[in-house]
Amino acid sequence: MEIENQLYYVAPRESMESILENGILTPEQVRKLILEKKLPEMVLGVSFKKIDSSNFPEFVSLTSNQDMVKRVAEQICFARTGKYCDSNFMAVGYIIDSSIRLKPEFRNEIKTQEMNDNCYNGECLFKGNIEKSLISPRCFAVRTI
């Protein structure tokens, strides 16, 4: 995988099993599986306890900015604990193959900014679920402390 144009996805560690089995699901799909009791609520990231709060329910949110990986983890931690840093919290970062940028479902940073001027630095979107084949088997821990 190329380092330039690298994309990252950040999720709570509780979602790791689901991601490795099913790929990365849209917030809309995750919500449906939680309501059907097929996934636990602990898989939710920044929308924890606010299951309908996604700005882009049909899209998976990625970042092209490596510096934002920890900030996304801090946002997930805050949604869970009310604190940006917690020694008991850990997120997992996933490296997404840059070939995803060539797919018509991909929205780059500029298009994402046009869709919502409140998005975070380097945010990109992918409409639909991200297949396992586009997720690097090497994931990494993201701590908030």
Q: How far is CA 26 from the centre of its chain?
A: 9
Q: What pLDDT, on the 0 to 100 scale, is given for residue 46?
A: 59
Beta strands at 123-127 and 59-63: parallel, antiparallel or unpaired: antiparallel
Q: What pLDDT, on the 0 to 100 scale, is given for residue 98?
A: 93
| Residue 24 neighbours by CB distance under 10 Å | 24
Give the whole-angstrom CA distance, residue 16 versus residue 12: 7
**Domain spans of the chain, in order of start:** 7-143
Cα four-point dihedral sign 89, 77, 138, 133: positive
Residue ranges of the alpha helices (H) in the chain? 16-22, 27-35, 68-81, 109-115
Which secondary structure element, helix H or strand E, spans residue 138, and what is its range?
strand 135-143
Percentage above 70 pLDDT, the chain: 91
| pTM, 2 dp | 0.89
